[in-house]
Chain A
Amino acid sequence: MGLADRINLKSAKEAMKIRSPFLLMMALLAGPPSVLWAGPKPSQNPKALVPKGNCAVCGMYVANFPDWAAVVSFKDGGTAWFDGPKDLFTYLLDLKRYAGKRNPSDITAIQVKDYYGLKHIEGRKAFYVFGSDVLGPMGKELVPFATETSAREFLKDHHGRKVMAFHEITLETMKELE
């Protein structure tokens, strides 16, 4: 290879180096901004539960973590919000300490957020994946799912250790999550 060729090759390589990030950038653009026009925005569902207040266990502000918010409703109309299912279980497994006068029989509903749909589901019927690589606001989490099949698939995708039903979660489980 002659010197001229080598210089040509070098400058061609350099030209590529300069141009390629720009080309990549342009190629990454998924079309012009116009295709993003989506028409009038749909209104939000007014009935959806809106997280409010502080977590009844750790005291963190629940509205900052709407994707994880869990809630316990009581007969007297009161609610207790949590910034994740882990704190929900910490609360339920030691109700005396956190809820004071309230008994387990006072609980009317337990709701957790389904991981895939991000909608509230009945907590007692949900399936929880333990030991996955998805972290919640308080670190390791029990990730809730509406169906067992979705829990199994999540377990596979995110290297979870096991799928657990509501009643299988005990203080031992909580200790392992710490």
Chain B
Amino acid sequence: MRAPIQRYRNILDFALSSLLRRKGRNLALICVYTLVIFVIASLIFFVQALKREARELLIQAPDMVVQRMVAGRHDPIPTIQAEAIRAIRGVEAVQPRLWGYYYDPVFGGNLTVMAASDQELAVDSVWVGRGVARSMRVNEGDLISLRGYGGQPILFAVQKILPEASELVSSDLVLMSEKDVRALFNFPEGLATDLAVTAGNPRELATIAAKIVELFPDTRPIMKTEILRTYEAIFDWRGGLMVVVLGSAILAFIIFAWDKATGLSAEERKEIGILKSIGWESSDVLLLKFWEGAVVSLTAFLSGVLLAYVHVFFFSASLFEHALKGWSVLFPRYRLVPALDAYQLTVLFFLTVLPYTAATLVPIWRAATVDPDAAMRS
């Protein structure tokens, strides 16, 4: 029992020392290999985490949003329509929503200004998201000034800064009373930005949507599933864009790895010849070279994935966040919730480690089966 284990140990030992003998070459290989794994894994982690955040975000979203369209564009909707929609069977609640964008010239970003529907908010006071608080450098109790529709400054007291947990959603949010929103934007009474519809049974949403369109042909109901699909498509699209850019990097790596792994140097050929002439079997030589390849690719895979994890979940993917997200200038500063997808990691493993190991084995096998005398002479 001990002998085979001892044999494996010796071979592994020999593999490690022969890796160390060619330190420079192998270090360079591991570095490039790690870099490629790092970039791909970062991308996978990041897109995955963003998609999950979006999905969780949308759990809170209304089942359906009804917008009024004028000349193909989104227009304020009369709140009176909410009553008619509420009367449709299967509708549980209809909530007129009042929101809009406010461009702040000082820090050049858009804020989302929204009327608080259920929170008790006094006139002239606001709740702001963390992003807004950071950019405006305000704390609870401070005053902020927004420009009204006529250019006149309006002062608001910051009553509360929204909790950190909701930062992805609420970073650029300013919540105020309905009266203040109307005053700020000169939004006419009796109109809302859109209507949020909740259905008792989500199965009925399609029927409800059909009835709404029949009732008000100028409206457009948008279902939660459609919003979800759109968000996913955007993340996929952005992720896809990055993949195209990465494609060339991966190709370069494949060429590099192929060259390093398959091109047996005369020195290596000689080494194999010597090993065979001192009594190594072909299977031992294969095992030795397999371990060498495995050590290189496993080290690179593990360190690449680890670095990607740290990059995405501790540094919020700072290297390519600008390419992948951004609704406005006010980037939410948050930590993504770590989400590991075993399936994608496995795919990454099989796409990188296995081909590399296989690529190293084929030429070795060819060299190992040659007569040692011929190998040493060549």
Contact = CB atoms under 8 A, between A and B. Distances in A.
A35 interface: yes
A29 interface: yes
Contact of A35 (B112, B118, B207): B112
A34 B89 contact: no
B65 interface: yes
A39 B118 contact: yes
Contact of B119 (A25, A33, A34, A39): A39
A66 B171 CA distance: 35
Given A25-B234, A28-B222, A32-B112, A117 B227 contact: no
A158 B170 CA distance: 40
B169 A36 contact: yes
A31 B169 contact: no
Nearest to A150: B89
Nearest to A149: B89
Interface in A64-117: 67, 115-117
A36 B61 contact: yes
Contacts of B170: 34, 37
B169 A34 contact: yes
B248 to A, nearest CB: 23
B203 A34 contact: no
A32 B58 CA distance: 12
Contact of B89 (A28, A36, A153): A153
A127 interface: no
A178 interface: no
Nearest to B204: A116
B173 A67 contact: no
A121 interface: no
B166 to A, nearest CB: 6
Interface of B: 54, 57-58, 60-61, 65, 67, 74, 89-90, 92, 97, 99, 101, 112, 114, 118-119, 129, 162, 166, 168-173, 193-194, 200-201, 203-204, 207, 222, 226-227, 230-231, 233-234, 327-328
Given A28-B222, A33-B168, A157-B207, 17 more contacts: A25-B233, A25-B234, A28-B226, A28-B230, A29-B230, A30-B67, A31-B193, A33-B327, A34-B114, A34-B129, A34-B170, A35-B112, A36-B61, A38-B60, A117-B200, A118-B200, A118-B201
